[in-house]
C-alpha cells in the first residue's frame, strides 16, 4: 500500500457551529474517524500545522505547507491537503509554483459542508483525494473536488453553496473519479526536473477597472507594491482617454522598475490585447505583461514566485510566460 501524508489546515470540512458561526475546530484524529475506509486504501500519517478558515491563509502559510511537503517528500508517495475552499485556488496555484514538476501527487481538497454533518461532500472528497493520491499515473499539484481532478493552476471557486463548487477555467479536467476509479483525460510526464522554491514576494496587488476610473491610484500602488495586475475590460481594453490618464500613469509606474500585468475581468477565454486599439496601445510597451488565459489566482501567485526569484526584468518576463502546471497558453 502507498504511504500518504495528510496535511490538515482547517476549512469548513473541519468546522463546527460556534457562537459566532462556523469555526474550524474538529481535530484531525476525529476528522479521520469519519472516513475509516482510508485504512484500506493506504498507510496514512497526518499532521495539522494550522487550523484556519482559509480566509485567513497568507503567503507565509503557503511557504509553510510547501516546506512540510519538502521535508516529508522522500518518506511518502503522495500528499493530501485539507483546506478551506474559499482560498484553495490560491494555495493550489502557489504550491504549483513552489513545488514544480513533482512526480508525486499533491492533492488539495475540502468541502462545502462539515464532515460531521449527515449531508456533506466532505467524506467523498477526502476519499476521492486519497484514491487520486495513490494512483500510479497521478503527479504534480491538483485539486480533487466533487469527483473532478483539476490542475492546481486552473481551479476557481465559482459556487458558494453547491457541492460542485470548483470549475477548471479554460482547461479540461485532468481526470474524473467514478465508482472509486480514476479515469485520466490528461496525463503528462513532466519534461522539466522536479524543483522546489522557498521565496515569494507578496507585494502584488490587483486593480479591477470600473468605467470612469482614474489611473492616479497607480501613484499610490507604485509606492507600496512591486507589481500590479490590472483587470481590464473584455478581450483587452484599458481606457485611453486623456482624463483617465492610464497611459501616462502606467508608463510612470513601469519607469519605477515595477511589474505590470494586464488581464481581463471576463471569467472565460482570456485576453488578447492586440484586437482593439484600447488594448493594442498598451501592448506596444514591451515591459507590460499580458496574462492571456491564466486565472487570477495563478497570475497573482506566479508573480509572487517570479518576483521572489529575480529582479531582472528580462528574466521576470521569461519566467512569467513559461508554462507551469498548465497555467498559460498563448
Ligand atoms: N470559509 C471556509 C474556508 O474557506 C469555507 C470552506 O472551507 O468551504 O475555510
pLDDT beyond 80 at 328: yes
pTM of the complete model? 0.97
Measure 86 CA to ligand 1 centroid, in angstroms: 5
Q: What is the DSSP letter of 204?
A: E
In which band, very low, low, confident or very high, does the pLDDT at 184 lie, cut at 50, 70 and 90? very high
Section 226-233 average pLDDT: 98
Q: What is the mean pLDDT of residues 137-153?
A: 97
- pLDDT in the model for residue 188: 81
Task: Give the model's pLDDT for residue 187.
Answer: 85
For residue 110 and ligand 1, the question of a CB distance below 6 A is answered with: yes
For ligand 1, say whether the CB of 120 is within 6 Å of any of its atoms: no
Look at residue 176 in the predicted model and tell me its pLDDT: 98
300 lines ligand 1 (CB under 6 A): no
| Rounded (to 5) percent helix, strand, coil in the chain | 30, 25, 45
Residue-by-residue DSSP string for 181-194? EEEES-----SSPP
204-208 sheet: strands from edge to edge = 204-208, 227-232, 259-264, 289-290
Q: Evaluate if residue 191 carries a pLDDT over 80.
A: no
Which residues have a catalytic role annotated?
A: 12
Average pLDDT over the chain, rounded to an integer: 97
Smallest CA separation from ligand 1 atom 3, residue: 84
Q: At what angle do helices 246-255 and 217-224 cross, to 10 degrees?
A: 20
Please determine, for residue 300, whether its predicted confidence score (pLDDT) is greater than 90: yes
* Mean pLDDT, rounded, for 270-276: 97
Determine whether the shortest distance from the Cβ of 121 to ligand 1 is under 6 A. Answer: no
**144, 242, 252 from 156: Cα distances, Å:** 12, 36, 33
CA angle (207, 56, 159) in 5-degree steps = 70
pLDDT for res 189: 74
- Rounding to the nearest 10 degrees, give the CA dihedral for residues 89, 152, 39, 147: 80
pLDDT of residue 111: 98
The average pLDDT across 49-70 equals 98
Q: Indicate whether 24 pLDDT > 90.
A: yes
Pocket of ligand 1, candidates 52, 84, 162: which has the most ligand atoms within 8 Å of its Cβ, to mutate? Answer: 84
pLDDT for 234 equals: 98
Task: State how far the Cα of 81 lies from the Cα of 108, in Å rounded to an integer.
Answer: 5
Atom of ligand 1 nearest to the CA of 111: 8
**Quick one: cell of 68?**
512540510
Whether pLDDT at 190 is above 80 = no
CA of 36 to the centre of ligand 1 (A): 23
Which atom from ligand 1 is nearest to the alpha carbon of 11?
A: 9
Amino acid at each position: 500500500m502507498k504511504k500518504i501524508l495528510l496535511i490538515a489546515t482547517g476549512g469548513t470540512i473541519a468546522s463546527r457551529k460556534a457562537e459566532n458561526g462556523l469555526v474550524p475546530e474538529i481535530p484531525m484524529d476525529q476528522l479521520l474517524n469519519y472516513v475509516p475506509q482510508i485504512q484500506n486504501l493506504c498507510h496514512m500519517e497526518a499532521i495539522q500545522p494550522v487550523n484556519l478558515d482559509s480566509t485567513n491563509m497568507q503567503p507565509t502559510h503557503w511557504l509553510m505547507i510547501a516546506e512540510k511537503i519538502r521535508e516529508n517528500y522522500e518518506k511518502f508517495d503522495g500528499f493530501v491537503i485539507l483546506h478551506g475552499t474559499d482560498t484553495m485556488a490560491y494555495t493550489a496555484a502557489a504550491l504549483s509554483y513552489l513545488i514544480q514538476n513533482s512526480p508525486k501527487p499533491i492533492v488539495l481538497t475540502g468541502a462545502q459542508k462539515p464532515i460531521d454533518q449527515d449531508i456533506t461532500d466532505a467524506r467523498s472528497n477526502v476519499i476521492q483525494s486519497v484514491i487520486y493520491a495513490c494512483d500510479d499515473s497521478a503527479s504534480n499539484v491538483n485539486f480533487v473536488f466533487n469527483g473532478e481532478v483539476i490542475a492546481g493552476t486552473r481551479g476557481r471557486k465559482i459556487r458558494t453553496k453547491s457541492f460542485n463548487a470548483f470549475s477548471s477555467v479554460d482547461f479540461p479536467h485532468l481526470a474524473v473519479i467514478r465508482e472509486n476509479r480514476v479515469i485520466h483525460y490528461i496525463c503528462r510526464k513532466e519534461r522539466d526536473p522536479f524543483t522546489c522554491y522557498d521565496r515569494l514576494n507578496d507585494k502584488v496587488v490587483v486593480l479591477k477597472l470600473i468605467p470612469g476610473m482614474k489611473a492616479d491610484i497607480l501613484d499610490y500602488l507604485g509606492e507600496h507594491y512591486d507589481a500590479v495586475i490590472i483587470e481590464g475590460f473584455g478581450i483587452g481594453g484599458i481606457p485611453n482617454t486623456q482624463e483617465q490618464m492610464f497611459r501616462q500613469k502606467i508608463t510612470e509606474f513601469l519607469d519605477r522598475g515595477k511589474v505590470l500585468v494586464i488581464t481581463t475581468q471576463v471569467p472565460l477565454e482570456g485576453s488578447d490585447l492586440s484586437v482593439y486599439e484600447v488594448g493594442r496601445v498598451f501592448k506596444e510597451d514591451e515591459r507590460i505583461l499580458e496574462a492571456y488565459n491564466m486565472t487570477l489566482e495563478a497570475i497573482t501567485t506566479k508573480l509572487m514566485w517570479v518576483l521572489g526569484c529575480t529582479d531582472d526584468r528580462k528574466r521576470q518576463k521569461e519566467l512569467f510566460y513559461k508554462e507551469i502546471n498548465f497555467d498559460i497558453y498563448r
